[in-house]
Amino acid sequence: MQTSDDLIASKVPFARRWRVIDEIDLAGLVASHATTDRLCTWLEACADRLPERPDPAEALALCAELEGRLLTHIEQEEQLLNAMFARDMADPLCHILIDHIGTCHSACATQAHDLIGALDPDAPGRRHLCAEALGYTMRSFFDGCRAAMAFEELSILTLADKRLTPAARQLLVRRLATSCR
């Protein structure tokens, strides 16, 4: 079965030839954003339960999701966007938006590493944060991650504009409507 990250990766070699961006071209990215949003919701529930911390099994599962899902996805997503908009990079707006998306990805990755360090019960030199600091770290991550995904989706709508098929535009708009609840 093909994962959302596989769908993203499979589109990268063909992106330079894209004139029109169809729903299938964005399906992997949107599916990955939905999965990442579920991770954010899980972290939000954990933050709401503080000062009760996640038990070791849940903490390890969260760390695995942060490491496996988010950190590996970022590189594939940046490759997709850079390929999708490669011919538009001379446009200052395109360059600024793609660069800002990369900055947001770096911030999310850094915060994910901080969370892994704070949550992983097996991490050498684990930093035991007080409940308030852990809650702040979690909330900073999921708020920032959700904002970054919405910015990315809005950027695609802006940059792709008339290249988007109606189905692709509708997919992005539905995703934004879900994420901006």
Give the tens place of pLDDT for each residue, 86-118. 888 889 999 999 999 999 999 999 999 999 999
Contacts of 62 (CB under 8 A, 6+ apart): 39, 42, 43, 46, 54, 115, 119
Mean pLDDT, residues 83-87: 88
Domain count, the chain: 1
Task: Please say whether the beta carbons of 110 and 120 come within 8 A.
Answer: no
What is the rounded distance in angstroms from the CA atom of residue 132 to the CA atom of residue 36?
24
Confidence class for position 27, pLDDT limits 50, 70, 90:
very high
Angle at 40 between CA 35 and CA 41, to 5 degrees: 95
CA distance 140 to 163: 34
Which residue segment(s) compose the domain that 40 sits in?
4-179
